[in-house]
Structure 1
Amino acid sequence: MRLVQVLIPEGARPVVLETLDEEGIDYAVFDEVGRGDFEAMVQFPVPPSGVEPVMQHLRSEAGIHEGAYTIVLPTETVVSRRLPALKERFPGLRISREELLARAEDLAPANSTFFAFLLLSTVIATTGLLLDSAATIIGAMVVAPLMGPAISASVGAVLDEPEMRSRGSALQVTGLLAAIATAAVMGWLLQQTVLIPPGLDIRTIPQVAERTSPNVLSLFLALGSGLAGAISIIRGAGSALVGVAIAVALIPPAATAGLGIAFGLPGVFVAAAVLVVVNLLAINLSALLLLYAAGFRPLETTDRRTVRSAVFSRVATILFGIAVLSLVLGAVTWTTFQTQSFEQETQEILRQDVDQANIEGVELVDVTVDYEPVDMLLGREPQVNVLIGIPRGLEAPPDLAQRWDDQLTTELDRDVVVRVGFVEAQVSEAEPREPPFEWSSLTILATPVAGPGDGSGPRPLDIA
């Protein structure tokens, strides 16, 4: 429930009270002696969704203009026989446009506060990325103040508040640029110390790799965060937790982009920057659409036409940007699926070959495939690394790598490079070992074809 307090202009008291009586609202009236242009103050309880229609009725019937002194307060308990009827008339939980503006202003802090928390959040997130610590990254998200600018920009757009819209948009852009710069400087400084090992490849850190291989699923996080932010401000619930979700979509990839600059890895920077921009656009799009669909409009009818055109134009621009960048996300999604499928199929083929050979003492220790989405996009050949355990006294075949190269090329229709390493494996057994066997019993089922360069790839490892 809300308690609304309104100062009544001189001569408007009878009309105001008559209007409230028509609405079926209980009220209390107090004489006003503090200001000469008002004669009384009226206060009345009303459900949250009823504040805006009741105030519009008072403006149209009693001349209570928008600039009049009006206070809307949340209340814990109201006892009145008229409340059930009011709740039936105003069943929703949507707040009034005045409350929406006030909340949006509160969510966007002063510039100094905003940048202080943003930079601290970036420092913590960068540390979490380098430590591969999800808990540290989540802790950084609690500090990040990005929900306010994202929501205030959309609120300013639907309510025709250009100053709020511009400030919200500017804070988002400058804040994320500052986050990237902070992570870049921090990454460069850390390289000059002993806090991180020399020659560290940040692409091998799982938390960093997660932000450098963005796919279409990333859009769901951003869209959901924007919708949750709009719902939280409309209904006044869980805004702090929603702010964490919005920050998760923006701060870690921004910090990753900064680390890409610091470590001289343009691929990392571009991939993370694309994720930042896509998430930023998706958050603003979902929040803008939900606020507009919820019915928030400017007070004046002429402004509503202007806002409708401006909102549609803004939505079209954001959709175009998301569509263009989604091509990148779609390419990453498709290549990731292809590379992972290739790795699984390769491991299954080699495992079946060794199992079907059924040679005692021979064990397939490990199969790894060095094949990333960027390798596929650049046309690089996947490298298959095979490690086989063999008993002492068994001679390793010199052509096994090429034979598997030919088989994988034929069955998977993709040129590969195969490296085979051998390690001596010992297995204790109760009975004497059978005589040595020949590697010819390891049968390659596929028809051999010429591999890339006719065997010019890496040679099998020589075991001393």
Structure 2
Amino acid sequence: MRLVQLTVPTGERQTILETLDEREIDYVVTDENSGREYTAVVYFPLPTPAVEPVLDDLQEAGIDEDAYTVVVDAETVISRRFEALRDEYEQGDVESDRISRQELLAEADSLTPTFGVYATMTIVSAVVATAGLLLDSSAVVVGSMVIAPLIGPALGASVGSVIDDEELFTESVLYQLVGIVLAIAAAAVFAWLVRTTNVVPPGLDIGSVDEISERLTPDLLSLAVALGAGVAGIVSIATGISVALVGVMIAAALIPPAAAAGVAIAWGQPSAAIGSTALVFVNVLSVNLAGLLTLWYVGYRPESLFSLTETEERVRKRVVALGVIVLVFAVFLGGITYSSYTLATFEENAQTEAELVLEEPAFEEYQLLDVSVITDDEYPFVGPERVIVRIGGPPGEPEPGIADTLAERINRHSSTQVDVEIRYIGLVER
């Protein structure tokens, strides 16, 4: 529910009151004695879905923005006429539960901080995320998402497109681009400092850190996170629900992969940064695409009906452009997903082959200890480079044929030649 406070310009009192009477809206009028160009203030409660059509009616009646309108939350309204008004406008779906276009624009503006604050918080969140990745701490990474100020620009571009506010759209797009660059740069600088000052162990293999490796080789499921964040963000802002948690979800799609890209650059592995950088961009685009489609679906349109056709055409072009780019990135992520699937299948087959070989009568005196697959550094499409098979058996040298047999059987499952290394451990019975 909302309480609307509308200042009445000189000569407009009758027009405003007639408009409210036609809609059977209760109101209170107080005289204005400040000596300015206003003669009164009208107070009237409205169901949330009724705010936009009522304000539009007042504008069509000739009440422009000089009337100075304030819309605030109302906890409780007790009135039979208000109950009838609520029954008229509330149908229990997202379209009827959404806030007004005027409130949406104000909310989008309020979610985007000043540039200085935005840049500072983005850099801080990227540094914290980088520390979390290098510590392999998911808790620290989550903490970096909480302070990231990304939800405003991420949703502002969609809001600006749908309600025909090109200034908001341009500012939001610029903020997003600058935010990505700042996050990756801040992460790279911080990771370089950490590495050169030996805060982390010298020779650290970033591919062995789980929090980092999973973002260097992202898969297709990452798209679901970004699309879900975009839809949830728009539904939250459009229905007046708190967007704080949704902001964390959007940050989860952007800050950790940007930090992973910075770490890869600092470690002198630019190819390793390709996958995470692609993930950042596809997530940004997916959030914008999902937000744009959701806003249009729930019924937001520009204020002026004369610009509706032009806005529809602009939104359509942006949806198509975003859809095509996201599809291209999706194919790229699909390739990474297939590469990861192939690697996982090879690891499973290598384990199975090693077990089968040692079950053969000629090698029954040996036992398999473990199988390790070492991958190459061809990010983001990593593949097997070397297989280490640890076996135990009687003291002395192992059967000469076991190494050749294992190498031949394991390489059946790889399209490229993979080195197979046997590490033999003599076991003494007690």
User: Which TM class, normalised by the smaller chain length?
Assistant: over 0.9
Matched residue, 1:426: 428
Matched residue, 2:74: 75
**Are the counterparts in 1 of residues 48 and 100 from structure 2 also a CA contact under 8 Å?**
yes
Matched residue, 2:231: 227
- Aligned amino acid, residue 391 of structure 1: P
Matched residue, 2:406: 404
For the residues of structure 2 that align with 1:19 and 1:411, how far apart are their CA atoms?
Answer: 77
List aligned pairs for 1:5-154, cutoff 5 A: 5-60=5-60, 62-91=61-90, 92-154=96-158
**Are the counterparts in 2 of residues 29 and 41 from structure 1 also a CA contact under 8 Å?**
yes
- 1:243 corresponds, among 232, 244, 247, to 247
For the residues of structure 1 that align with 2:79 and 2:376, how far apart are their CA atoms?
Answer: 67
- Give how far 1:412 is off: 6.6
Matched residue, 1:391: 394
TM-score scaled to structure 2, two decimals? 0.93
- Give how far 1:35 is off: 5.0
Change in CA separation of 1:8 and 1:381 when aligned onto 2, cut-off 3 Å: closer
- Give how far 1:323 is off: 1.7
Change in CA separation of 1:114 and 1:331 when aligned onto 2, cut-off 3 Å: same
**Are the counterparts in 2 of residues 256 and 268 from structure 1 also a CA contact under 8 Å?**
no
| Residue 291 (1) aligns with residue 290 (2) | no
Q: Secondary structure at the match of 2:75?
A: coil
- Give how far 1:49 is off: 0.7
- Aligned amino acid, residue 420 of structure 2: V
Deviations 1:334-393 (A, max 9, x none): 111111011112212221332454966532100122246948958x76422110011235
**Are the counterparts in 2 of residues 364 and 387 from structure 1 also a CA contact under 8 Å?**
yes
- Give how far 1:50 is off: 0.6
| Residue 214 (1) aligns with residue 218 (2) | yes
Q: Secondary structure at the match of 2:392?
A: strand
For the residues of structure 2 that align with 1:38 and 1:238, how far apart are their CA atoms?
Answer: 35
Q: Secondary structure at the match of 2:30?
A: strand
Q: Secondary structure at the match of 1:330?
A: helix
Matched residue, 1:435: none
- Give how far 1:307 is off: 1.4
Deviations 1:167-213 (A, max 9, x none): 11111101110111111111111122131111222121111101111
Q: Secondary structure at the match of 2:301?
A: coil
Change in CA separation of 1:315 and 1:411 when aligned onto 2, cut-off 3 Å: closer
For the residues of structure 2 that align with 1:51 and 1:209, how far apart are their CA atoms?
Answer: 49
**Are the counterparts in 2 of residues 336 and 373 from structure 1 also a CA contact under 8 Å?**
no
**Are the counterparts in 1 of residues 216 and 379 from structure 2 also a CA contact under 8 Å?**
no
For the residues of structure 2 that align with 1:354 and 1:67, how far apart are their CA atoms?
Answer: 86
- Aligned amino acid, residue 424 of structure 1: G
Any gaps of 5 or more consecutive residues in structure 1?
429-464
Change in CA separation of 1:312 and 1:355 when aligned onto 2, cut-off 3 Å: same
Matched residue, 2:308: 304
Matched residue, 1:254: 258
Matched residue, 1:2: 2
Count residues in correspondence.
425
Of the structure 1 ranges 14-23 and 312-321, higher mean CA displacement relative to structure 2 is found in 14-23
Deviations 1:304-357 (A, max 9, x none): 222111111111221121122222101001111111011112212221332454
**Are the counterparts in 1 of residues 125 and 144 from structure 2 also a CA contact under 8 Å?**
yes
Change in CA separation of 1:376 and 1:200 when aligned onto 2, cut-off 3 Å: closer
For the residues of structure 2 that align with 1:57 and 1:293, how far apart are their CA atoms?
Answer: 23
TM-score scaled to structure 1, two decimals? 0.87
- Give how far 1:8 is off: 2.5
Deviations 1:152-180 (A, max 9, x none): 12111111112211111111101110111
- Give how far 1:66 is off: 3.6
- 1:173 corresponds, among 170, 174, 177, to 177
Q: Provide the aligned C-alpha RMSD in A.
A: 2.1
**Are the counterparts in 1 of residues 126 and 255 from structure 2 also a CA contact under 8 Å?**
yes
- Give how far 1:11 is off: 3.2
Change in CA separation of 1:53 and 1:94 when aligned onto 2, cut-off 3 Å: same
- 1:362 corresponds, among 366, 378, 382, to 366
For the residues of structure 1 that align with 2:139 and 2:287, how far apart are their CA atoms?
Answer: 23
For the residues of structure 2 that align with 1:87 and 1:373, how far apart are their CA atoms?
Answer: 62
Q: Secondary structure at the match of 1:266?
A: coil
For the residues of structure 2 that align with 1:426 and 1:78, how far apart are their CA atoms?
Answer: 85
**Are the counterparts in 2 of residues 339 and 376 from structure 1 also a CA contact under 8 Å?**
no
List aligned pairs for 1:148-167, cutoff 5 A: 148-167=152-171
Q: Secondary structure at the match of 2:423?
A: strand
- Aligned amino acid, residue 86 of structure 1: L
For the residues of structure 1 that align with 2:362 and 2:47, how far apart are their CA atoms?
Answer: 77
Matched residue, 2:93: none
Change in CA separation of 1:270 and 1:156 when aligned onto 2, cut-off 3 Å: same
Of the structure 1 ranges 413-422 and 73-82, higher mean CA displacement relative to structure 2 is found in 413-422
Deviations 1:274-323 (A, max 9, x none): 11111110011111111122221221112222211111111122112112
Deviations 1:107-133 (A, max 9, x none): 000111111111111111110011111
Of the structure 1 ranges 85-94 and 207-216, higher mean CA displacement relative to structure 2 is found in 85-94
| Residue 191 (1) aligns with residue 190 (2) | no
- Give how far 1:246 is off: 0.7
For the residues of structure 2 that align with 1:377 and 1:297, how far apart are their CA atoms?
Answer: 43
Change in CA separation of 1:226 and 1:411 when aligned onto 2, cut-off 3 Å: closer
**Are the counterparts in 2 of residues 332 and 373 from structure 1 also a CA contact under 8 Å?**
no
For the residues of structure 2 that align with 1:216 and 1:154, how far apart are their CA atoms?
Answer: 24
**Are the counterparts in 2 of residues 158 and 298 from structure 1 also a CA contact under 8 Å?**
yes
Identity %: 41
Q: Secondary structure at the match of 1:4?
A: strand
Change in CA separation of 1:169 and 1:341 when aligned onto 2, cut-off 3 Å: same
**Are the counterparts in 1 of residues 357 and 405 from structure 2 also a CA contact under 8 Å?**
no
Change in CA separation of 1:35 and 1:160 when aligned onto 2, cut-off 3 Å: farther
